[in-house]
Structure 1
């Protein structure tokens, strides 16, 4: 099928009959909306990525969308792609500052139409032989692109299509009569511009600035946290910890909880005097009452008799001050920045007072000084607010993150070994300023924080920026707190544009006006990355968004960037690559990486072992700190931290008990118990089929399970089953499935060599050896139940109404088991295995050059409906294997059902993504020859495999993408 025929089929699919005609997802007419499956901006990004040129006609544009738009334009400029933008001054919506930003984009021609009532919203992309247009209701504004309820229709056409011609002619007609955007036009427009009254200023792009003294009520997050705190106190908890980022309303949450607790007296402790008055005012806004009820205790204020007392730790922790209070003076004690509580001053305070309840609040409970904050607060975590949740709940100011490649000289990027002369060279400083100007907002001077790698770099960079008319000041640990406060005040007042520092502003500083965060250093940890990003996320009147510019050099820790942005602690390399492959949206925030920066991060991901024992031990230690005991597999799931599958698939340990031994947690298992736990961990606990897990869980609770009972559970849950599956359960739990060679012994011997379950055709029972292994074996029982429960929880991510779940990953051995085969044939299977009824096909889309000598024989996937595939060699049309593939039943259906599994390259490991069933397009079956290094070429049979379920665009893009 040629391109025009494919397009014709897609149009007929979309406009005439979706059942009768095949629909290429990339070509078929499609309604685009903002929903849980994606945003209009993501669809536009797809079109920008493949276009040769573009034309946009929109009435309204907002500055808060121009930062990610500029990032896209920068990528296109690197490919020598340019475009046209037609807009207007209709209703005065488009601000002069927005037009000034458009002038910065070199590969964008902008014109302003004088058509009265210009209200167009259209995006046209020239892809060579085909054209795509997106028309509907969405202007180039952040709310329209990311959140509003919009309808937009995407249509693909040839250049000769009547509709494309009509739209193209309309655009050309308006373009020819429109005036160019120039500095002169902009100066005149700005001089006469009157901001429309109906377009009020907004905070963070979504809500109007609140009226003075509004009634303050808990938001959704605070309501849940308050309920958790009440429940903890009902269980007689005396201490609890609240984990929430700066700017997410911790102080108001504390006030709401104090209101619910109604203490006789209350003490709030902070580490900086500057926070006292703001905290007092926040509490009074919630609690009400006379001003005399709210007192300050610090070096300058001594209102110690107030009902609600707000004190600095420096003052109240003094022994002579503590002695002025009865130890039971305060019913409720609240500690801000509770991660500092390991200091002697806090320990004195906590040892002295005996409140009924103590609440600690922090954004960063994990410490590098080994002090256990969780233990101090009895491991009671009242609530934890993650970055994505805070953004979704509109608690933080949205950000636009741009990852650009750092300055490169003579083919050499900045890295950990770069000298000071390179870090502050005139060329690098000029490059930094160019990026700041391009992505900056010319409507006002920036309020920026720059984090760099070294103190001497900070000092010199601040001097160089100041010399180039960007007033800046370096702050290092050499300055006093008073000097830092003075510098912050100068930034807030506009005397400075940038504060340049290393790490001293990671926490403990609140500068709400910050609207730029510039990262000029290696990302050493996800915690530090989020701390530095968070310096700009507090809402502030007049601040619509934060621009985050990350200069990505040749750093080995670059892989931490996508992990930090997505709050991803899973240690799953596949998940990290998927997060990086696209331009994700977090609420109203966007994330963009330049192509070169993305390549650097992919290279770092390939080089790092996310599941190394060192990483696993660190995750274990963090989990143990939180819980006060050794975490189990299910605990990692509950905490949404490490993906427990990294223990189940790790080559260094066979089960979690073996890992516990490596971290010196005492576990007593016999050899047979260890083998049983290994079997459950490696073969079942990944959750790709829950049936065995359910049966074993039932047998641990009751001695005998009838087949009828088991099927009743499957029925109740809606799980797929048949006679073949029941036979497979016997083979798996009897270990017959694993009766294959593994070195000099059978694989089943690794699992004890004995059946786990006996089945007489009517009832299931644990085999005697398994039953005996459970007797007086608390460690084994605990770890076995944990592995089974973990597997059942993981299985919830699969569609258990059928054998395989679309777009989930499976190994060859998984496939053999889920196809209910008698034996594990994964070792001799290689690329496919033609069974009697089913044939799994495993495709590595981008083969290693050593394996595939000619690109002509690479699997091709030009669209989402079919893939070109080749048999092994030598094969011909007469080969028995090929004949079985082509055979059909009497009713015309294929004799053998094809299942397609694919991965991008061998760097993705053993797993393949299930793309669904497929059928052979018989018109495409042909004998072909494969060139080799040998004199005689090899014969193969090639054919197109048509997917039953056309691939979603993200799956297609990820599979065919050029990132590894």
Structure 2
């Protein structure tokens, strides 16, 4: 299997972190990006060095998938540590291990603590649980790679308690842009489903309550689906088995050819194969298919399991993002869940870094009433958010002018260069959370950034990286941005350094006044 460029970059980045002494690093790769292939190739590199590798997963299907991809991608066979199977008598240097098996003290004690040199944790967002930690703490000499498709900023902060660095991240927008995943169009269905009486458990809505809350709306939802996706291959996620089975029957009564699978289904493999082969056009499930199942021909996802957990939401949508012949885009149906707090995941949360932009985008999709490409919607929502911020920033800039500060406010710089990732940055790992170092503060001041509002070392590092990159690309400096935007010119951060320098020279030659033939708000550099 030939590696894609980003997969090679990811492999190099992980070994780079380990080689510089990092014990525990994280790889984030969007569902469908080939993360199993990547960690198979990383494993192959470790085995070449004579090392023994443990691949940890919490479900049998994920273990089988890892072993299968390992064989196909590298030719390496795997020993299995699961139930009655043990790797101790095997000569294989790669072991796929069940968390439920290895977490038992009697099982762990059969191994010396230094038995494994490297541990790879598949679906690493689970690794903070006691069962995983028991295993990782036992083999505490091994270097660890966590692999996940789905951390949101909250998850990242949690994972930052264990992992030291993020080695590499390959995002959904980049995968779509580079043509490795299909575009997504979201459509809001105008049904108001009341969740205000649903209680919460472990930070999300309680499944049993969700099933009851959803029940009165199932017929209406089926009718709306008949308008949108009768000719599509659809996967529906529901909170309970009984709700999933009931909805399957309702869909069949509306003319769909629907099937249902759950954790207790004896014929699960057959149903999944029949769905893949086109015998059914809708597959209902109660959260069974969130991980480890691929059917690239799926071109519609219906999320009837509202959630506040972005990682879960991304997993559900990820079942439909793979490329397939004749598949133009994935249709993602969203619903107007009525809840007391606006914490629910919507299509916007698949790509938005900022909650502010996500809320604007969700509202825009809702008002459109038809399928909207989520990347185009994100651009529009970002523009709307920037316009709102600029209005507020204008007042701040006036205050700054009055104070005659010579340095640029970080928010002004971030907005001028249109850096949404900097505006929405949240520190995750231990070193990022600390205050900026004296050296960072001095360097930022020297480069023209007012450092007092930068609260973390991580944010300071990101700003310094961006300033260095901009210098190499010949873009404007913070001082040029402050000077020209202070005189009414807009988005100077997107200009070339030389264009800004020429304009400043003209203004200087005119007695530090903007020439009469230039209108700052309309001016565009050549």
Short-chain TM bin: 0.5 to 0.7
Q: Shift of residue 521 of structure 1?
A: 6.2
Report the CA distance shift for 1:421/1:365 in structure 2 as closer, same or farther (over 3 A). closer
2:217 alignment partner in structure 1: 423
- 2:2 maps to 1:217: yes
Give per-residue Cα distances to partners, 1:292-345, cap 9 Å, x unaligned: x53233236445412222222222333333233222222222221122222333
Q: Shift of residue 452 of structure 1?
A: 5.0
Give per-residue Cα distances to partners, 1:553-579, cap 9 Å, x unaligned: 3757599646324x2213454x97589
Q: How far, CA to CA, are the matches of 2:259 and 2:124 in structure 1? A: 30
Q: 1:547 is matched with which residue: 330, 336, 348? A: 330
Q: 1:536·1:546 contact (CA, 8 Å) conserved in 2? A: no
Question: Which deviates the most, 790-799 or 303-312?
Answer: 790-799
2:315 alignment partner in structure 1: 531
Q: 2:523 is matched with which residue: 879, 902, 916? A: 916
Matches within 5 A, 1:264-275: 264-275=51-62
Q: 1:243 is matched with which residue: 28, 37, 43? A: 28
Give per-residue Cα distances to partners, 1:524-571, cap 9 Å, x unaligned: 46544432211112456x574553231443757599646324x22134
Q: How far, CA to CA, are the matches of 1:787 and 1:547 in structure 2? A: 34
1:808 alignment partner in structure 2: 491
2:15 alignment partner in structure 1: 230
Q: How far, CA to CA, are the matches of 1:783 and 1:370 in structure 2? A: 13
2:96 alignment partner in structure 1: 310
Find the residue that maps to 1:375 and give its secondary structure: coil
Give per-residue Cα distances to partners, 1:823-882, cap 9 Å, x unaligned: xxxxxxxxxxxxx976xxxxxxxxxxxxxxxxxxxxxxxxxxxxxxxxxxxxxxxxxxxx
Report the CA distance shift for 1:598/1:323 in structure 2 as closer, same or farther (over 3 A). closer
Find the residue that maps to 1:346 and give its secondary structure: helix
- 2:295 maps to 1:295: no
Q: Shift of residue 246 of structure 1?
A: 2.4
- 2:50 maps to 1:263: yes
Report the CA distance shift for 1:353/1:577 in structure 2 as closer, same or farther (over 3 A). closer
Matches within 5 A, 1:589-604: 595-596=368-369
- 2:133 maps to 1:347: yes
Q: 2:185·2:330 contact (CA, 8 Å) conserved in 1? A: yes
Q: 1:342·1:373 contact (CA, 8 Å) conserved in 2? A: yes
Give per-residue Cα distances to partners, 1:56-77, cap 9 Å, x unaligned: xxxxxxxxxxxxxxxxxxxxxx
Report the CA distance shift for 1:791/1:358 in structure 2 as closer, same or farther (over 3 A). closer
Greater gyration radius: 1
Q: 2:189·2:224 contact (CA, 8 Å) conserved in 1? A: no
1:450 alignment partner in structure 2: 236
2:254 alignment partner in structure 1: 468
Find the residue that maps to 1:267 and give its secondary structure: strand
Report the CA distance shift for 1:558/1:487 in structure 2 as closer, same or farther (over 3 A). farther
1:569 alignment partner in structure 2: 353
Matches within 5 A, 1:733-812: 800=480, 803=484, 808=491
2:116 alignment partner in structure 1: 330
1:381 alignment partner in structure 2: 166
Q: How far, CA to CA, are the matches of 2:140 and 2:461 in structure 1? A: 38
Q: How far, CA to CA, are the matches of 2:31 and 2:456 in structure 1? A: 43
Q: 2:218·2:247 contact (CA, 8 Å) conserved in 1? A: yes
Q: 2:519 is matched with which residue: 877, 895, 899? A: 899
Q: Shift of residue 433 of structure 1?
A: 1.0
Q: Shift of residue 464 of structure 1?
A: 0.6
Q: Shift of residue 224 of structure 1?
A: 1.1
Query: Relative contact order (C-alpha < 8 Å, sep 6+): which is higher?
Result: 2
Q: 2:412 is matched with which residue: 686, 692, 710? A: 686
Q: 1:434 is matched with which residue: 191, 205, 227? A: 227
Q: 1:515 is matched with which residue: 294, 299, 302? A: 299
Report the RMSD for the aligned CA atoms in angstroms: 5.7
Q: How far, CA to CA, are the matches of 2:139 and 2:111 in structure 1? A: 9
2:433 alignment partner in structure 1: none
- 2:71 maps to 1:284: yes
Q: How far, CA to CA, are the matches of 2:66 and 2:28 in structure 1? A: 18
Find the residue that maps to 1:549 and give its secondary structure: strand
Q: 2:150·2:314 contact (CA, 8 Å) conserved in 1? A: no
2:496 alignment partner in structure 1: none
Q: Shift of residue 285 of structure 1?
A: 3.3
Q: How far, CA to CA, are the matches of 1:683 and 1:371 in structure 2? A: 26
Find the residue that maps to 1:310 and give its secondary structure: strand
Matches within 5 A, 1:399-414: 399-407=183-191, 413-414=192-193
Q: Shift of residue 798 of structure 1?
A: 5.7
Q: Shift of residue 457 of structure 1?
A: 5.1
Q: Compare the two structures and name the one with the higher helix fraction.
A: 2
Unaligned 5+ segments in structure 1 are 1-215, 408-412, 582-591, 609-641, 655-675, 691-696, 706-712, 715-732, 734-755, 757-773, 811-818, 821-835, 839-894, 901-913, 918-947, 950-964
Q: How far, CA to CA, are the matches of 1:780 and 1:533 in structure 2? A: 35
Q: How far, CA to CA, are the matches of 1:677 and 1:316 in structure 2? A: 63
Q: 1:450·1:498 contact (CA, 8 Å) conserved in 2? A: yes
Find the residue that maps to 1:391 and give its secondary structure: helix
Matches within 5 A, 1:87-98: none
Report the CA distance shift for 1:235/1:371 in structure 2 as closer, same or farther (over 3 A). closer
Q: How far, CA to CA, are the matches of 1:461 and 1:570 in structure 2? A: 35
Q: How far, CA to CA, are the matches of 1:677 and 1:320 in structure 2? A: 68
Q: How far, CA to CA, are the matches of 1:480 and 1:533 in structure 2? A: 23
Report the CA distance shift for 1:267/1:524 in structure 2 as closer, same or farther (over 3 A). closer
Report the CA distance shift for 1:463/1:268 in structure 2 as closer, same or farther (over 3 A). same
Q: 2:348·2:361 contact (CA, 8 Å) conserved in 1? A: no
Q: Shift of residue 221 of structure 1?
A: 0.9
Q: 1:684·1:791 contact (CA, 8 Å) conserved in 2? A: no
Scaled by the length of structure 2, what TM-score is found? 0.65
Find the residue that maps to 1:899 and give its secondary structure: coil
Scaled by the length of structure 1, what TM-score is found? 0.38
Give per-residue Cα distances to partners, 1:686-731, cap 9 Å, x unaligned: 23899xxxxxx99957x9x9xxxxxxx99xxxxxxxxxxxxxxxxx
Find the residue that maps to 1:225 and give its secondary structure: helix
Q: Shift of residue 593 of structure 1?
A: 7.5
Q: How far, CA to CA, are the matches of 1:511 and 1:787 in structure 2? A: 38
Find the residue that maps to 2:56 and give its secondary structure: strand
Q: How far, CA to CA, are the matches of 1:241 and 1:392 in structure 2? A: 23
Q: Shift of residue 281 of structure 1?
A: 3.1
Q: How far, CA to CA, are the matches of 2:121 and 2:288 in structure 1? A: 21
Unaligned 5+ segments in structure 2 are 198-212, 397-401, 418-438, 494-502, 505-511
Q: 1:522·1:553 contact (CA, 8 Å) conserved in 2? A: no
Report the CA distance shift for 1:649/1:266 in structure 2 as closer, same or farther (over 3 A). same
Q: 2:190·2:336 contact (CA, 8 Å) conserved in 1? A: yes
Q: Shift of residue 381 of structure 1?
A: 1.4
Give per-residue Cα distances to partners, 1:894-921, cap 9 Å, x unaligned: x944637xxxxxxxxxxxxx4438xxxx
1:357 alignment partner in structure 2: 143
1:152 alignment partner in structure 2: none
Q: How far, CA to CA, are the matches of 2:93 and 2:67 in structure 1? A: 12
Report the CA distance shift for 1:294/1:460 in structure 2 as closer, same or farther (over 3 A). closer
Q: How far, CA to CA, are the matches of 2:165 and 2:60 in structure 1? A: 28
Q: How far, CA to CA, are the matches of 2:97 and 2:255 in structure 1? A: 42
Matched length:
449
Q: Shift of residue 267 of structure 1?
A: 2.0
Q: How far, CA to CA, are the matches of 1:689 and 1:791 in structure 2? A: 13
2:210 alignment partner in structure 1: none
